[in-house]
Amino acid sequence: MINHWDLFLAPYKQAVEELKVKLRGIRAQFEMIEAHSPIEFVTGRVKPVASILDKAQKKNIPLDRLEEEMQDIAGLRIMCQFVDDIKTVVELLRQRNDFTIVEERDYITQKKESGYRSYHLVIRYPVQTIRGEKNILAEIQIRTLAMNFWATIEHSLNYKYSGRFPEDIKVRLQRAAEAAYRLDEEMSKIRFEIQEAQAAFSRKQEAKGEG
């Protein structure tokens, strides 16, 4: 039987599915012209009901204000190879006319105390429904593969410790975040070589008919 949450989340599900196709389309277009894609891969999810309720309680959001006040019920994540790709992606997203950006949060130049780094965009996205257009908020997180590795590990530890990390783990995570930052810096320095190697590799695959 369809319940209240299924109905509430339906436009968010639709938005996530549509946006995954659209954002993956950007990568496909770069591949088509054999240029470096600033997007490595895209994921998306609708926040599980238990997490919505948890966050609403933590942030004092009344349940009848979720649509306006919880910005990441629909969440998209764009992973990039290099830090500079993040800027390129943000520029591409700013130029689009299928949604409007309502907020930008730069946790790259201003990392969070935990060590978290990512660029967040909150967008207002129109979903077409049988009852007309419905505008929903969605959050797009843009990060490098190294930032994503760190955030994924920290997120699972956060779950284990319910956000209250023992001091030694907190310090290790901060050190790991610095190591991820240095990894991004090193990769940026040899970016040209990496891209040349990747281009040569895909030409070889194409010649073998595996492209």
Catalytic residues: 139
Stretch that binds ligand 0O2, among 91-99, 114-122, 162-170, 192-200 (CB under 6 A): 114-122
In Å, what is the CA distance from 14 to each residue of 6, 125, 131, 195? Answer: 12, 11, 14, 35
Give me 146's structure tokens.
């190294």
Does position 51 interact with ligand 0O2 (CB under 6 A)? The reply is yes
Does position 112 interact with ligand 0O2 (CB under 6 A)? The reply is yes
* The one among 88, 120, 125, 140 contacting ligand 0O2 by CB under 6 A: 120
Please, which residue, 60 or 97, has the CB nearer to ligand 0O2?
A: 60
**Which runs of consecutive H residues, i.e. helices, occur in 33-123?**
49-58, 66-69, 83-94
Shortest distance, position 55 Cβ to ligand 0O2, whole Å = 5
Give me 33's structure tokens.
């012209």
The footprint of ligand 0O2 on this chain (CB under 6 A) covers a number of residues equal to: 13
Stretch that binds ligand 0O2, among 23-31, 34-42, 47-55, 194-202 (CB under 6 A): 47-55
Amino acid, single-letter form, for residue 178: E
Residues 60-79 that bind ligand 0O2 (CB under 6 A): 72, 75
CA 81 remoteness from chain centre: 13
Annotate 134-196 with DSSP letters as a single string.
EEEEEEEEEEEHHHHHHHHHHHHHHHHHTT---HHHHHHHHHHHHHHHHHHHHHHHTHHHHHH
Binding residues (CB under 6 A) for ligand 0O2: these are 47, 51, 55, 72, 75, 105, 112, 114, 116, 120, 151, 154-155
